[in-house]
Structure 1
Amino acid sequence: MSRFLAAATQQFQKGLRFSRVLIHNTGQHLKAAKTPTANSRQAAPPPPKCPGAKRKPGTFASGGKHAVFNDCPMPEGDFMRAWHAKNTRYNIILITGALAAFGGWGMAISSGILGLNWSIPPYPYTEDEKEDFELEEERRREEREARQERHQDAVEARELAIRRRHAKEAMEREVELMQRDMDEGISDEELDELQRLAAEREAFEMWEKDEIKRLEDQQKDRELIRKEKAKVQAERDKERDRKRRERDAQLEKEEAEREKARKEARKEWEKAEKEAQKEKEKAEKEKAKLKKAQSG
């Protein structure tokens, strides 16, 4: 404990000595700052003079050294006349720009530089290709209709099979109840069930008869539709063959006309070549005669 007190006393004394040194040094610095030096005793430089003070009076319209509101420009003349003149100029510029824009646009469209594609472009396929596309579309439509018919037939056949199976099970139950009724008798609930099964059997027989008739009529209608489609298809094929023959005949005729024109052009060219050859031979003969006459 005594050691602790001694150490604390020493630390306190050290702190006092450090504070005294700090206060002493600070006082010396303050005294040094208050004492004027030789450099500080020199006079401070004069402040810079305003350059506006050198300007002569009468620079502005008011005659003063600085601008005032009286020096601002004042409007003079007729305001409406000036306004109409400006509007006239602006309207001329607007009309000229619009005419130049529309005129340039029209020239670009008429010259073909700018195409707006407002007309129907030529079909990119030939007649034969279009016929092939139509045939392919018809084939796909027929396949889709056949697929739908097969799906419908499968659904109807499944429904018929399910109802027949239920009717068969009901028939077995009805036979069982009838056999028990003949052997030992049945209760009222079983009698009601037997009557219900008999009514359901009769209803199913009527429905089955109507359903079979409907399916037969549907099959007949489909056969009739197929025959009609085959007939229409045959007529369409016949019409296509006729058009194809006409088109082939037209192409052959055009080719014959072009061949005839080529032959005529060839004859004309040969005739012109012969005439040119004759003219050349005639010119050579005249030149030879002239040379012979000059030499003689």
Structure 2
Amino acid sequence: MSTRLVIGSYTSDMDGTGIGLSSVPGGHVVTPSPSYVITDGSYLYAVNEGEGAVSSFTIDTLELLSTQSTGGQWPCHLALIDGYLLAANYGSGSVSVHPVADGKIGPRTSLVQHQGTGPDAERQEGPHAHQIVSGPDGAVTVVDLGIDRLVHYSFADGALTRTGETALPPGTGPRHVAVHPSGRWYVAGELNSTVVTLLSGKVVATTPSTAVDGHNQASAIALSGDHLYVANRGPDTIAAFRLDAHGVPAPIAEVSTGGSWPRDFALVDDGLVVANERSSTLVWFSLEDGIPVPTGKTVETGSPTSVLPL
């Protein structure tokens, strides 16, 4: 498996060292809790979760180019849209907008704030923006775990304008979504361990994300053809589903991640790589008829939280 990987991690109170680059032996850059990393092909952009900031780096040498405050708490997800970097601030339930030029992030030009609560008094005491999804014609959707909503915006000239929202079953705690070419959306419910299937903004199915009893927090979700994959923290599994004729996920397997607390995974080289945050390991799987099969390859790396193939 030759694909280069960029690994984000937690550094505060954990054993992560910052951003790691698999193509450079021992290569990493120290930066505060870069828990999520993206690229535009020329530069890397990372959240600094505990600092309420975003940073940019060169892609080959990991030289720091810029850092800017998001104006919110605990940024956890990023998107590059039309020359701007958007950050989802989990702690404060807001979305910041920053211009980007030649890899350098400019000062924040906009900040939109969500409002509301959910039925889980501990986790949904307020809004918690968790993912930003870019769509056609300037459409942007923000997944908000705290208010059980997908909040929809138009985006033009660096400004977000709210256009509507999609309500999910109370207590779902939406974390991330995967969008199918058919127009179906698959939402990973972190709080109720489900995958919610949406079509035209309507709930058409709700499927358990794990068959294992006990505490679970669903995390990453991804599509590969007619297969859907969800990481489950608690049972520490990857659940595999096949989409049926109606586009509804049907479970076909659930396998151990070979570590603890799978925060993220990525589809890489006809397989997948899982970032096990609490066991500080990356674990490789092949995909055989859509089912993850351990390859035996495991790499130790401090508290990995995101996997980005280059």
TM-score scaled by structure 2? 0.13
Where is the helix percentage greater, Structure 1 or Structure 2? 1
Larger radius of gyration: 1
TM-score scaled by structure 1? 0.13
Q: Which has the higher contact order (CA 8 A, sep 6+)?
A: 2
